[in-house]
Every structure is written in structure tokens, then in C-alpha cells.
């Protein structure tokens, strides 16, 4: 071929031209910017306006953060170091770090205990959140509440052990009778557990030695972000099962159960959380003698759990309502009884539908735990607004402290929301 051309044409390129990059204006960032940022004059105007706003925000905050002072004893020392230049006084975080995390009354030599409990919590949560992990890990999850209680509150180890024994006995009774009837097994198990707990009320004081391995820490000494985490984790994990029970109860054909659930849900949803917290902290004190009040932490846990379980119940009811009637009928036609139908057919599907709603409430609940600062519990916000801002050293600092609170809450809430999105993708079995 090339020979024929050699006679008729003066020059023939023998090799292909190497590929060159597309013109600058037709590809790459320029093209992208032209398409997305400056497509029309109006778009261009908006882009420039946004860039200006972003510039001003960054110009004000970035030097302020980079110029921050991390080591100083007080606000006035910070100002001396800064010499009038703009800069954050992060020294308050350095100095009050343990107080922000654990509150101001938790014994400092015991800080490792809640820290260890936190690490264990991550381990215990893993098999619940990621069900590809070996199921045996759930044993750790089951033991975690008792270990965590012992680590955080300290005192005699027999209290959590006997509480655990109560659960085990309850489960054994349940397992023995559940074949005869679910109801007998269920209520028999609960009754057996209560018998054990009532007995252990007498045994524990007798077993308690003078000096316990871990020093006992009363509830009112808990504080800081630890308190938010404890309230959040406890209340979420308690209110999901309770919410399921309430949602099923509301759909029950037994009028008494149905109306109890309806009234409970509607009442709780009609009352602001802060009101319930005031009832927990103030009104209940009138009903009990001064020396025998229920622990404030437990009172608050009960109130927040009641509050969020009512909302979760409504979310799950939505999930139950979204299931086609055929699913219920299919379960019935297989001859499953109510408990089996719910456990094996209805709830797995209904809960999957409800995931976004439940996560929404869990995130809201976690943030609502800061409301306890109003009833003079020193959670992270209570620590900031009370002791830290009221110390003569740090009075007058606001941005740094509240920014810190924002960051720690954002980390947790964003993780929860990312997890739920992953879970939705993982559980997506329908054909979309």
C-alpha cells in the first residue's frame, strides 16, 4: 500500500499522530467549571457571590483557628499571648478537658474506667450493627451492660452479677415453657427474673466487702460528654424494644392493651420532653422520702426512654401499616401463631422499612440529652454553661466551648446517619 502512495503523493505520514489532550476549554476543570459554575450569566453571578461569602467566612475563621492558643491558664493570659490579634483561646479545652469529658466530680484516678467502658461499647455494638460478624460476639454484647455498669459506677461486683443471674434465670424459665405457650414462657421468665432480683436485694449488702475493688461513684458525680453518651446509648437501646412492643400493642385486638398503648403514646407525644424532665427531677422528689428517692440518673433515663419509645412506636406502626395485607395472611396460612408470625415474617420487613425513621429519632434523642443541663445535671452543655463559664478564669469565652460541643455531637450524629445509609443499602432486597 505504501509503495503506491509513494509515487503519487509528495508526503505521507507513516505513523499515527500521538493522542493529544483535548483543548483546555473542552475538558477538565475548565470545562467542568464552565458547565456547572458559569453556565449562564445568572449562574455565574451566583457562583461569584457564593465564593465571596465562602471567602469571607474562611478569612474570618481560619486565622482565628490557626492562631489559636492551646496553652494558657486563663482568658486574660490568652489575650496577653494574642496581643490583640484575632485568635481562638482553645486553652480552655486543654485545661478543662477531663471536665468536659467526665464532669467535674468524677474521681480523676478513675477516668480509665469510663474510657474502658467506651472502648468495650464499640466492641459490643459491632456485632449488633454489622451482622456479617460472627454471631458468637453477641455474648460480649449481652455481658456489656453489666460490665459497663460495674466500671462506671464501681462498688461491689455482686450487684451486676446478680442482675445478670436474674436475666439468665428468666431466660431459662422462658426456654423451658416457651414450647408450651409463648405467653407462659414470657411472663414466667419475667416473674422468675424478678424473684431473683428481689432475693439479691437481701444478698448483695451481705456480700459487699468494706473495700471494693473499684471505688463506688454516685450517680450525681457523673457528667460531661460521658453523661450524654450514657443517656443516649441507654435510652436508644431501651426505647427501640419498648417502641416495638407499643406499636404492636396499639395494633392489638385486645381493647385493654390497645387503649393503654394508645393513651400512653398520645399522652407522651403531647407533652414536651423538658416538662417530663422537670417532673423527673422536681416533682418525683415530693413523692418519695428524702433518703429513698430513685436515683436521678434512672429517673431521667426512664423519662427519656418513655418519650422516645412513643415516637419510635409511631414510626414502627408506619412500617407495619406499609406491609401488604398479604404478608399477614401468608403468615396465618402457614399456621404460625401470633408470636411466630411477628418474629419471622412481619417485624423483619416492618423494621426494615422503619430504619430511616428510627435513626432520625435516635439522632434527635441523642441531641436531646443536652436538655438535662436544665435540671442541673452536668452534661457537656451543663459543664460549659455552669462550672466552666462561671470560673473566674474562663468567664467570657463562648465560641471555643460551644464549637467543641458542636464538633463532638457532629461526629456521633454523622456516624449514626452514615451507618443507617449503609444499612439501608445492605438490606435492599427489592428490585429497584
Partner 1 sequence: MNKSVLFGALTVAGLAAGAAAAATLDDVKARGTLNCGVTTGLVGFAAPDANGEWKGFDVAVCRAVAAAVLGDATAVEFVPTTGKTRFTALASGEIDMLARNTTWTFSRDVDLKFDFVGVNYYDGQGFMVPKALGVSSAKDLDGATVCIQTGTTTELNLADFFRANNISYEPVPIETNAEGTQQYLAGACDTYTTDASGLAATRATFENPGDHMLLPEIVSKEPLGPLVRHGDSEWGDIVRWTLNALIAAEELGVTSTNVGEMATSTNNPEVARLLGTEGTLGEMIGLDADWAKRAIETQGNYGEIFAQNIGEETPIGLARGLNAQWTDGGLLYSPPFR
State the number of binding residues for partner 1 (CB under 8 A): 40
Find the part of the chain contacting partner 1 (CB under 8 A) among 16-24, 104-112, 232-240, 351-359.
104-112
Residue with cell 422520702: 289
Cell of 284: 418525683
Position among 286, 335, 425, 430 found at the interface with partner 1 (CB under 8 A): 286
Residues 62-81 that bind partner 1 (CB under 8 A): 75-76, 79
Sign of CA dihedral 299, 163, 232, 314: negative
Tell which residue, 237, 235, 385, has the closest CA to residue 300.
235
- What are the angstrom distances between the C-alpha of 55 and each of 39, 47, 66, 67, 383? 22, 12, 16, 18, 34
Among 61, 105, 212, 340, binds partner 1 (CB under 8 A): 105
What are the C-alpha distances in Å from 46 to residues 4, 28, 31, 53, 176? 61, 22, 18, 11, 70
Exactly one of 161, 374, 416, 423 binds partner 1 (CB under 8 A); which one?
374
Backbone dihedral angles phi then psi of residue 208, each to the nearest 5 degrees:
-70, 120
Q: Is 83 in the site for partner 1 (CB under 8 A)?
A: no
The residue from 387, 416, 417, 423 that contacts partner 1 (CB under 8 A) is: 387
Calpha distance 316→312 (Å, rounded): 6
Residue ranges in 108-127 that form contacts with partner 1 under rule CB under 8 A: 108
Choose which of 281, 305, 309, 369 interacts with partner 1 (CB under 8 A).
281
Interface residue with partner 1, options 45, 53, 263, 282 (CB under 8 A): 282
Select 28 or 218, whichever has its Cβ closest to partner 1. 218
Question: Sign of the C-alpha dihedral, residues 44, 49, 53, 58?
Answer: positive
Nearer Cβ to partner 1 (78/359): 78
Radius of gyration of the chain, Cα coordinates, nearest whole angstrom: 30
Tell me: does residue 256 bind partner 1 (CB under 8 A).
no
**By the criterion CB under 8 A, which residues form the site for partner 1?**
75-76, 79, 95-96, 99, 104-105, 108, 220, 278, 281-283, 285-293, 374-376, 378, 382, 385-393, 395-396, 398
Amino acid at each position: 500500500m505504501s509503495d503506491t502512495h509513494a509515487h503519487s503523493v509528495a508526503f505521507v505520514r507513516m505513523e499515527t499522530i500521538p493522542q493529544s489532550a483535548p483543548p483546555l476549554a473542552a475538558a477538565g476543570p475548565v470545562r467542568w467549571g464552565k458547565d456547572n459554575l458559569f453556565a449562564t450569566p445568572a449562574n455565574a453571578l451566583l457562583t461569584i457571590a457564593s465564593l465571596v461569602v465562602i471567602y469571607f467566612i474562611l478569612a474570618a475563621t481560619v486565622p482565628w483557628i490557626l492562631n489559636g492558643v492551646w496553652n494558657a491558664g486563663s482568658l486574660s493570659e490568652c489575650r496577653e499571648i494574642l496581643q490583640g490579634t484575632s485568635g481562638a483561646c482553645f486553652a480552655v479545652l486543654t485545661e478543662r478537658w477531663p471536665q468536659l469529658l467526665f464532669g467535674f466530680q468524677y474521681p480523676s484516678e478513675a477516668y480509665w474506667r469510663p474510657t474502658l467502658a467506651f472502648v468495650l461499647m464499640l466492641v459490643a455494638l459491632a456485632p449488633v450493627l454489622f451482622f456479617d460478624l460472627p454471631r458468637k460476639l453477641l455474648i460480649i454484647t449481652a455481658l456489656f451492660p453489666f460490665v459497663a455498669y460495674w466500671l462506671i459506677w464501681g462498688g461491689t461486683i455482686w450487684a451486676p452479677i446478680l442482675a445478670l443471674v436474674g436475666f439468665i434465670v428468666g431466660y431459662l424459665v422462658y426456654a423451658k415453657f416457651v414450647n408450651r405457650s409463648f405467653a407462659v414462657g414470657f411472663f414466667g421468665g419475667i416473674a422468675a427474673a424478678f424473684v431473683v432480683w428481689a432475693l439479691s436485694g437481701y444478698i448483695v449488702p451481705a456480700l459487699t466487702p468494706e473495700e471494693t475493688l473499684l471505688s463506688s461513684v454516685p450517680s450525681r458525680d457523673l457528667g460531661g460528654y460521658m453523661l450524654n453518651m450514657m443517656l443516649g446509648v441507654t435510652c436508644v437501646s431501651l426505647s427501640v424494644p419498648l417502641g416495638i412492643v407499643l406499636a404492636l400493642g396499639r395494633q392489638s385486638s385486645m381493647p385493654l392493651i390497645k387503649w393503654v398503648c394508645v393513651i400512653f403514646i398520645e399522652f407522651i407525644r403531647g407533652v414536651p420532653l423538658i416538662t417530663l424532665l422537670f417532673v423527673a427531677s422536681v416533682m418525683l422528689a415530693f413523692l418519695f422520702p428524702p433518703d429513698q428517692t430513685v436515683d436521678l440518673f434512672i429517673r431521667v433515663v426512664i423519662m427519656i426512654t418513655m418519650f422516645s419509645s412513643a415516637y419510635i412506636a409511631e414510626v414502627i406502626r408506619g412500617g407495619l401499616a406499609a406491609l401488604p395485607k398479604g404478608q399477614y395472611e401468608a403468615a396465618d396460612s402457614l399456621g404460625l401463631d401470633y408470636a411466630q408470625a411477628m418474629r419471622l415474617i412481619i417485624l423483619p420487613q416492618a423494621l426494615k422499612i422503619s430504619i430511616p425513621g428510627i435513626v432520625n429519632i435516635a439522632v434527635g434523642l441523642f441531641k436531646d440529652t443536652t436538655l438535662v443541663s436544665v435540671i442541673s445535671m452536668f452534661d457537656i452543655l451543663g459543664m460549659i454553661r455552669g462550672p466552666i463559664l462561671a470560673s473566674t478564669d474562663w468567664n467570657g469565652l463562648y465560641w471555643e466551648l460551644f464549637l467543641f460541643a458542636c464538633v463532638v455531637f457532629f461526629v456521633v450524629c454523622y456516624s449514626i446517619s452514615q451507618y443507617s445509609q449503609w444499612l439501608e443499602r445492605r438490606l435492599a432486597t427489592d428490585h429497584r
